[in-house]
Chains A and B, each alone.
Chain A
Amino acid sequence: MTVEIIDIGMGNIYSIQNLLYKLNIDAKIITTVEQIKSDFLILPGVGSAKLYMEKLQQSKFDKAIIKHIKANKRLLGICLGFQILGEYSQEDGGVQGLGLLKGYTSKLGNNISNNQWINFHLKKQNLIESKWLPQAKLSRKQSIDGRVFYNHEYGFVCEDKNVYSQSISLGLDKYSSIVIDKNIIGVQFHPEKSQTMGIELLGMVL
């Protein structure tokens, strides 16, 4: 199995590649849409939403990602790469998203950012009920439980009651920590920087 990491010139690409290597998964960094070969794409996200979307459009990854999802292939969006999958973001005065997830991104609050480790749990049953089918079968675990690392000022508000969405914490219950919708998983935290929990999460979903 090969996982392809989309590189649009922004983000901590090597961290994600390192996480996949720890799982013995072949990870390839791709910079053009012509290089897409895998059934599993990772869309990392660091930066401002406006510049990020501009770079997605310039590289034509915006349309390629939509095509990939419509072909029933899988995608993992991380942080901004998750938020951009929604309908729009309030960041940078408003940015249109890819519209793959029903919901929007809004600011956590004035002068508020969520830079911390927070407990997170996920059951394999949540994946099955959301019709997400792991293919690599790297783990037999039925659930994972531990802490994950967040570093963000904006959060995704899920407006689709038919998909699996887990809130970040009691204080940030409006915002999603993870959304699973058939062949799309979006996570607000950074699995690539969540130590053993990152490995366990990827092991479960791949």
Chain B
Amino acid sequence: MRVGATLLLLDGYCYQSYNWQILRPLGKLQNAVDILEQYQCDEISIIRPIRDKDDKTFLNDIKTVANLKSLTPISFGGGLRSQEHIDMLHKLPIERLIFSTPFIEQNTQLLQYAKNRFGNQAIQALLPFKELNNQIYIFHSANNSFIPLEQIDISFIDKYANEVILFDTKHEGDKNHFYRDILNKIDIPNHKIIISGGIGKDDIKFAQNNNLASVAIENKVLHTEYSIKEYKNG
């Protein structure tokens, strides 16, 4: 199982995020990636926290990622909603693409285009979720709202995504609070699942015991210098 990290990127700068609401400035992307690389972090997911259709910061973020010097596998996503966006990623030091809205809206044309350009193995689905009264709601970023899980075709996601990131928005920034019951409520094979949001050592043990693909630790990786090693040995 891989142990990775999630970094939020917006308008050229990194942020730490708490409970899907508060963004705390972190600094330059290169600095954050350099630190993670020193820890031999297995992979880094760079996600742009786009909450709407309007996206004026896309070009600036593409330039930031294009200048990134990294020897660690990078996934990139957030606001990838057109073929033009995919074309702009050519040459960039990224291996995998993260999509959310195209999976929720079943945009097969865009997903197929991305598959042709980057390969099947490169496509990751991001499902930010929250649990409320034992019901699961998925964040539909293009509409900036949560929708009931029942409105989403999970079999479509399983078919088109090589891996699925289940991101617990409610517990983001917390420790050992990832909502584990989500695995029983979403019918996707465990070996394709990456969990993120509220990840702690206990969650990593849980992921290992359940043969998940990966865990993506958010903010805490950069909070204390020894943390990633501690998690990897957890």
Interface on A for B, CB 8 Å cutoff?
7, 9-15, 18-19, 21-22, 29, 46-48, 51, 80, 111, 113, 115-117, 149, 151-153, 190, 192-196, 198-199
Contact = CB atoms under 8 A, between A and B. Distances in A.
Contacts of B213: 115
Contacts of B42: 117, 149
Contacts of A80: 119
A9 B73 contact: no
User: Chain B CB within 10 Å — which of A15, A115, A153, A195 has the most?
Assistant: A115
Interface of B: 2, 37, 40, 42, 66, 69-74, 90-96, 115-122, 162-163, 189, 192, 213
Contact of A195 (B37, B74, B91, B192): B37
B173 to A, nearest CB: 27
Contact of A51 (B66, B117, B121, B192): B117
Contact of B73 (A14, A18, A47, A190): A190
Nearest to A45: B119
A115 B121 CA distance: 8
B71 A14 contact: no
B116 A14 contact: no
Nearest to A193: B73
23 contacts: A11-B91, A12-B93, A14-B66, A15-B93, A18-B69, A18-B93, A46-B117, A46-B122, A47-B117, A47-B118, A48-B119, A51-B116, A113-B121, A115-B163, A115-B213, A116-B2, A151-B73, A153-B119, A153-B121, A190-B73, A193-B71, A193-B74, A196-B71
A111 B71 contact: no
Nearest to A112: B191
B162 A194 contact: no
Contacts of B71: 15, 18-19, 22, 192-196, 198-199
A12 B95 contact: yes
Contact of A47 (B69, B116, B162): B116
Given A14-B66, A111-B189, A195-B37, A47 B119 contact: yes
Main secondary structure of the interface of A (DSSP, over half): mixed
A198 B116 CA distance: 26
A51 B2 CA distance: 30
A11 B74 CA distance: 13
A189 B92 CA distance: 18
Contacts of A115: 2, 121, 162-163, 213
B122 A151 contact: yes
Contacts of B95: 12, 15, 46, 151, 190, 193
B109 to A, nearest CB: 15
Contact of B92 (A14, A51, A116, A195): A14
B91 A12 contact: yes
Given A151-B73, A151-B96, A192-B71, 6 more contacts: A15-B70, A18-B93, A46-B119, A113-B163, A193-B95, A195-B40
B119 A14 contact: no
A153 B163 CA distance: 12
A193 B116 contact: no
B162 A153 contact: yes
A48 B70 CA distance: 24
B9 to A, nearest CB: 17
B69 A152 contact: no
Nearest to A21: B69
A30 to B, nearest CB: 13
User: Chain B CB within 10 Å — which of A11, A12, A46 has the most?
Assistant: A12
